[in-house]
Amino acid sequence: MGMAEPVRLQRCAVFIDGFNLYHGLKASSGRAHLWLDLEGLSRDLLKPGQTLVSVIYFTAMVRDEPAALQRQDTYLQALETACSKVEVVRGKFQRRTLHCHTCHTKRISYEEKETDVSLAVRLVEGAARNDYDTALLISGDADFVPAIQSARRLKPDVRIVVVFPPQRISDALRQAADASFVLGHGRISDNQLPPIVVSPRASLHRPEHWM
């Protein structure tokens, strides 16, 4: 009697729109859940028969706010220490001068650049290279609809599921994806990093501002 063929697990890749997730978390629970364990959360989203192959987190470093930059840097170091499958992809903020035509004043603002494009490219590249069978896209940004459509054209049997951060639902994304659901409060609160993450260089403490 021959041996049974091993069951092939479905490969799952997770793509996270960092600022969309951040603003969703802040809108729903303030700063209470910003110390989020992205690998733990990603594993929690898998279904039976799926295996996690990658978690790619797209963000940009904040500008002109030293305390906020320090908190963000601490968090990214904690992620890279505690979450072996998480890859952090950093974009940037571009300085812009905004003009008010009514009051004739100017103010400086910053626009996030590269992160959305980087995520879209990686989603499409992954489909083209057959890196995953299912992609989980954690975002509520409708700008990713063309990337979803392109990935599915390149690999028609790929499955793309959109996970909406709290208060970040997009009907356009829902229609483009194979399935979608809202990231629940329980999964968020259950997947927080330890208060102290010890890296080879330092002990990384959850910022008091995020308590």
Q: With residue 54 as reference, give the H or E element that holds it.
A: strand 50-60
Q: Are strands 134-138 and 159-164 parallel, antiparallel or unpaired?
A: parallel
CA distance 142 to 147: 10
Mean pLDDT of the chain: 89
Is the pLDDT at 102 greater than 70? The verdict is no
Neighbouring CB atoms inside 10 A of 201's CB total: 8
Q: Which of 103-112, 137-146, 179-188 has the lowest mean pLDDT?
A: 103-112
Contact 86, 16 (CB under 8 A): no
- Residue 43: both structure tokens together: 């594993």
Among candidates 92, 114, 126, which has minimal Cα distance to 15? 126
Q: Mean pLDDT throughout 162-176?
A: 96
Each residue of 31-72: pLDDT tens digit?
999 999 999 999 999 999 999 999 999 999 887 788 999 999
Longest dimension (CA), the chain: 85
